[in-house]
Structure 1
Amino acid sequence: MMRSSKPLTAASTTLRRRLFSSESGSSRWTSPGHEERPKGYLFNRNPPPPGQPRKWEDWELPCYLTSFLAIVILGVGLNAKPDLTIETWAHKKALERLEMESTSNSD
């Protein structure tokens, strides 16, 4: 029993037509914009006048502080965590066995 692929083909054709419709110059996903060309600046924002600092947006300070504190907390926390690897455990057990052997041989 074969299935018909007509619904799939119709859906893909409709989607392709909506995405790539260039008759009006714009589609649902794009807009023509309001300028002829980009200015060439990052995020298309004009730089401040010479001698004036850039004005911070209201989200920048909390974001930068949180990022810095997260890096410090992770750095301190990860350096202070105990070494619980299997290699360290096996090394300690091997040293204990060697110590037990050396004490039993000296008796």
Structure 2
Amino acid sequence: MALTSTLRQRLFSRTFSTHAGPSRWATPGHQERPNGYLFNRNPPPPGQSRKWEDWELPSYITSFLTIVILGVGLNAKPDLSIETWAHQKALEKLAAESSSSD
């Protein structure tokens, strides 16, 4: 019993210990609390626009082109459903029966 309480005390003191000094798990500049803005970035001063990041324009262009290509491609694909195939076969049989009975 004394052994388990000693183990618990050691584990608990190591896990929840507070020490002064920089954390080895966080890089400098990332310890501050969130300031309430998206991605912790302050908005630009009034009258100025936000500067775009290098990745934004290619990302927006790629997203737009993907939506356009998928929209056109999915609307232009052939109808390969079983219902359409069965309907066409039934129409062919009806046409063959009506031509043979004439």
2:94 pairs with one of 91, 95, 98: 98
Using CA pairs under 8 Å that are at least 6 residues apart, name the structure with larger relative contact order, 1 or 2: 1
- 1:22 is aligned to 2:16: yes
Q: Distance in 2 between matches of 1:29 and 1:98?
A: 76
Q: Within 1, Cα distance between the matches of 2:73 and 2:25? A: 45
Cross-structure match for 1:34: 31
Gaps in structure 1 of 5+ consecutive residues:
1-16
* 1:68 and 2:77 correspond: no
TM-score normalised to structure 1 length: 0.69
Verify: 1:49 aligned to 2:45, yes or no: yes
Q: What is the number of equivalent residue pairs in this alignment?
A: 87
Gaps of 5+ in 2: 1-10
Runs of 4 or more consecutive aligned structure 1 residues displaced over 3 Å after TM superposition: 24-34
Alpha-carbon shift at residue 24 of structure 1 (Å): 3.3
CA distance in 1, matches of 2:37, 2:50: 14
CA RMSD after TM alignment: 2.6
